[in-house]
Amino acid sequence: MAKFIVTAAMDAELAYIRDNSGTICICNAQPTTVAQATTSANYSLGTATYGTAGWTIAQGDAGAGSRKITTAGTNVVVATSGTVNHIAWIGAGTVIAVGTCTATAVTAAGTMTVNAFDLDEIGIIS
C-alpha cells in the first residue's frame, strides 16, 4: 500500500503557520523557545511584526504530493549586531517555525531584508 498525506492536511499545517505567525525574528542560532527568539540576551538580533498578507500555499517544488507556503518578504530593524543564520516565526507564545538562512552580518540600528522564501511540506511518510 502506498503512503501519502492528503493535500488538505498539509494545507492545514501550512495555513496554521501563516495564520499564527505574528512576529518574525532574525537570530544568531536556532531558537527553541520564544525567549531565545525574541530576547537579545539570547539569540535574537531583531524582531518585526509579521502579518498573514502575501503568503501563498501551492504545490511544492518536489512535485505531485508536495505542498509549500511562500512567505512574504519583510524588513527587520536590527537591535543587536551579529551574524544572522536563522529566521523564526513566533505566535501566541509559541515558536511556530524556524528556518536557516545564509549567514549575514548585521549592525545594530540597521535593517535586514528578509526576502520571500518557501517552507516545504513534501508529504512523504516513511
Domain contains 50 = yes
pLDDT score, position 2: 66
Given CA atoms 40, 46, 48, 50 in this order, what sign does their dihedral have? negative
Residue 8 scores a pLDDT above 60: yes
- Evaluate whether 20 touches 50 at the Cβ level (below 8 Å): no
Residue 126 lies in a domain: no
Number of structural domains the chain divides into: 1
Q: Mean pLDDT, the chain, as a whole number?
A: 90
Helix, strand, coil percent content, the chain, rounded in steps of 5 = 15, 45, 40
Instruction: Determine the structural domain holding residue 105 and report its residue range.
Output: 7-121
Confidence of residue 4 (pLDDT cuts 50, 70, 90): confident
- Asked if residue 125 has pLDDT above 70, the reply is no
Predicted pLDDT at 52: 82
Does the pLDDT at position 63 exceed 90? no
Confidence of residue 70 (pLDDT cuts 50, 70, 90): very high
Q: The pTM is what?
A: 0.88
Residue 2 domain-assigned (yes or no): no
Domain membership flag for residue 63: yes
Angle among Cα 45, 46, 50 to the nearest 5 degrees reads 145
Is 22 part of any domain?
yes
